Amino acid sequence: MAFSERVKLSAKHKSAHRCCICHRAFVEVHHITPQEHGGSDELDNAAPLCASCHDLYGGNGDKRKTIRQIRDRWWKTIEERDRRINRSLSLGDWLKIEEDTSHQNKLMSKSVALYHVVFEDDDFETSAQILIDLIRDSQKSNPGQARRLYLDIDGHRNSKGGFDHDMYELQVNFVTEFLSQWLSSAFTPLASIDFNHAQRNDPPENLNITDGIGQKDINAAIDADLEAIWVADKARWIYLK
- Find the shortest distance in angstroms from Cβ 53 to Zn ion: 3
Q: Does 22 bind Zn ion (CB under 5 A)?
A: yes
- Nearest approach in angstroms of CB 1 to Zn ion is 25
CA–CA dist 156, 109 (Å, integer): 32
Q: Is 147 exposed, middle or buried (0-12, 13-18, 19+ CB in 10 A)?
A: buried
Does residue 53 interact with Zn ion by CB under 5 A?
yes
Residue 21 touching Zn ion (CB under 5 A): yes
In whole angstroms, the minimum distance from the beta carbon of 23 to Zn ion comes to: 7
C-alpha distances (whole Å) from 163 to each of 166, 169, 186 are 8, 9, 18
50 binds Zn ion (CB under 5 A): yes
DSSP conformation letters of 68-105: HHHHHHHHHHHHHHHHHS-TTS-HHHH-------HHHH
Return the residue of 11, 19, 97, 229 that touches Zn ion, per CB under 5 A: 19
Q: Is 16 in the site for Zn ion (CB under 5 A)?
A: no
20 in contact with Zn ion (CB under 5 A): no
Q: Is 151 in the site for Zn ion (CB under 5 A)?
A: no
Binding site for Zn ion (CB under 5 A): 19, 21-22, 50, 53
